[in-house]
Structure 1
Amino acid sequence: MAKPPSKQQVYTLLVEVGRKEGDGLPKAATGAALLCYASGVDEAEAVRETVAILKQADMAPLDVTGYGTEEERVAQGFDIDEGERSLMARALAENSVIVAQVTPFYDDDEAEDDED
């Protein structure tokens, strides 16, 4: 008897990354937060795939916080705009990880001096 195919869903993940040579972050940054939309049959798979892809991109993932699927986020009261929905749909269609936003972290006022 064949097992029915698993349904892919898109999960919203916030990934904290540290520094690694070639990571593409601004010189003065100490790390960053990446807002990602990742497809997977469950959140654990989405996290594994996201971490693997970020490592391939010379990033240094330190911590991942999951915020659930679009439906779960709406049920929790999150307001999801059309741009976000579009990125989620793309992640699902491409069975991929979309990095929607990168927010660098800085220790102090070095951010003002960084032209990168």
Structure 2
Amino acid sequence: MSDKPKRPHHVYTLLVEVGRKDGDGLPEHASGAALMCYASGVDEAEAVRETVALMKQAGLAPLDVTGYGSLKDREAEGHDISDEERALMQRARDENSVVVAQTTAFYEDSKAQ
């Protein structure tokens, strides 16, 4: 057993872009998607690693991750954060997990939609 103190976890807002992969569950004609996530971690790098690992485990093909910082970072930058968003962040913290708040599919051309 370790006597090492637990580092506090924060919740980070991440935008994950995914490409296509067989069985990924994205709409048939989509070329990929963007997923807005709230991820718990001791730092943003850990939150990104955990989120990418989870996406791969779920059968998605993560291509890029953009981090928007922790709740405190976003508040300091003046972001307008709704009660619903705060509740999802709290859920990610409570469950030490990744919460996907929104998925937006991408389409190559307007006919496919």
2:98 counterpart of 1:84: no
TM-score, normalised by the number of residues in structure 2 = 0.95
Structure 1: which amino acid aligns with 2:77?
A: Q
Q: CA deviation at 1:28?
A: 0.6
After superposition, the C-alpha distances for 1:11-44 in whole angstroms (9 at most, x for unaligned) are: 0000000000111100110000000000000000
5+ residue gaps, structure 2 = none
The answer as to whether partners of 1:9 and 1:41 remain within 8 angstroms in 2 is: yes
Q: Residues 25-36 of structure 1 correspond to what in structure 2 (within 5 A)?
A: 25-36=26-37
Q: Distance in 2 between matches of 1:75 and 1:111?
A: 40
Show structure 1 runs of 4+ deviating over 4 A: none
5+ residue gaps, structure 1 = none
Q: CA deviation at 1:77?
A: 1.1
Over the aligned positions, Cα root-mean-square deviation in angstroms equals 1.1
TM-score, normalised by the number of residues in structure 1 = 0.93
Q: Distance in 2 between matches of 1:78 and 1:3?
A: 35
Q: CA deviation at 1:109?
A: 1.2
Give the length in aligned residue pairs.
112
